[in-house]
Amino acid sequence: MIEKTVAENPGNPDALLRLTAIDPACGSGHFILGAARRIAQRLADLRNPGAASIAEYRHALREVVSHCIYGVDQNELAVELCRVALWIEAVEPGMPLSFLDAKIRHGNSLVGISDFSMLSKGIPDDAYAALDGDDKDACKFYRSLNRAQREGSKKSGRQNQFSFAAAPPELADAVLVLDSMPENTVEDVRAKQQALEAIKDGPLWQRLSVACDLFVAAFFAKKDGPVWSRRSTIARRNTSPDAAAPRSGANLSSVRRRSALPRSGASTKRIFHLAPATNGDVSDWASVT
């Protein structure tokens, strides 16, 4: 990918900063650190034909770490070690440490949402397969209910209003603005932290977070107890319409109250959703954890 990018962008070495290296189980960062070194070395060589100095290489590496490198791990200590490794490697005299809060994250991304289009298809019936400790009759009921509701939404056209093929343009734009913010001073880094918190506190981020959690929680929720009638909502496990409700414009607080029980399965397992923001030429990710 490095050489392909160079070939497609002659005379524009900064095109390498549009590359993205993601490790969904990064550990202490060996893979992404190696990727950062390779991209940075090529970037420094292109900017400084002949022989790039150590200072020029470090400057390139700091830019690569700020724009190209992403990692997630469910071990919180590994996440901290990864950040420290990147900080040590990319330190540049007179510059603050790179802002990595949005780049190296704590969570389990191997079972999360990787593409918003997964949500538009509804929760698959496999989510209600009977596992150890589940009641087979309850699983059968929820599987049938989910299938009926999912197919009913498709026939009526209601599914289209949820449009999970990509992140909302406003959210994608906010992520791009965040990525383009400078990190030249301590004040710059603080401003970037505040911008990230503002995005995560916003309704668009919150709606996507709830929807993604509900989708994944259907797989982890325990299906046991009596089989309720279709009219009953007592202790009901979530199905496809529940996952779609937050995005459709439903009141977020009420959705949160209804989804508190089913979402707990996702939150206790520290599920992390790597959902790419695919609007326009967005190459960044929008994590909704």
In a structure prediction context, what are the per-residue pLDDT tens digits for the chain, which is 289 residues long?
899 999 999 999 999 999 999 898 999 999 999 999 999 999 999 999 888 999 999 999 999 999 999 999 999 999 999 999 999 999 999 999 989 988 899 888 778 777 777 777 788 888 888 888 888 888 888 888 888 877 776 665 554 334 444 566 777 788 888 888 999 999 999 999 999 889 888 888 877 777 788 888 888 877 776 655 544 444 455 565 555 555 544 554 544 444 444 555 555 567 777 654 333 333 344 444 4
Same domain, 73 and 120: no
Non-local CB neighbours of 205 within 8 Å, separated by 6+ positions = 171, 199, 286, 288
pTM for the predicted model, two decimal places: 0.74
Same domain, 96 and 64: yes
- Domain-terminating residue out of 52, 84, 106: 106
Same domain, 99 and 198: no
Dihedrals φ, ψ of 71, to 5°?
A: -155, 155
pLDDT given for residue 242 in this prediction: 59
Helix axes 240-248, 252-268, angle to 10 degrees: 130
Domain that holds residue 42: 2-106
Same domain, 93 and 134: no
Same domain, 129 and 12: no
Same domain, 282 and 160: yes
Same domain, 15 and 80: yes
Same domain, 94 and 134: no
pLDDT given for residue 73 in this prediction: 92
- Domain-terminating residue out of 106, 137, 166: 106
- Domain-terminating residue out of 80, 106, 132: 106
Same domain, 95 and 131: no
Cβ proximity of 148 and 123 under 8 Å = no
- b/e sequence 273-289, b meaning 16+ C-beta within 10 Å: bbbbbbbeebbbbbbbb
Decide: residue 4, CB within 10 A, 0-12 exposed, 13-18 middle, 19+ buried: exposed
Same domain, 76 and 120: no
pLDDT given for residue 230 in this prediction: 45
pLDDT given for residue 235 in this prediction: 47
- b/e sequence 30-63, b meaning 16+ C-beta within 10 Å: ebbbebbeebbbbbbbbeeeeebeeebbbbbbbb
Cβ proximity of 274 and 102 under 8 Å = no
Same domain, 201 and 227: yes
In the chain, how many domains are there?
2
Same domain, 84 and 140: no
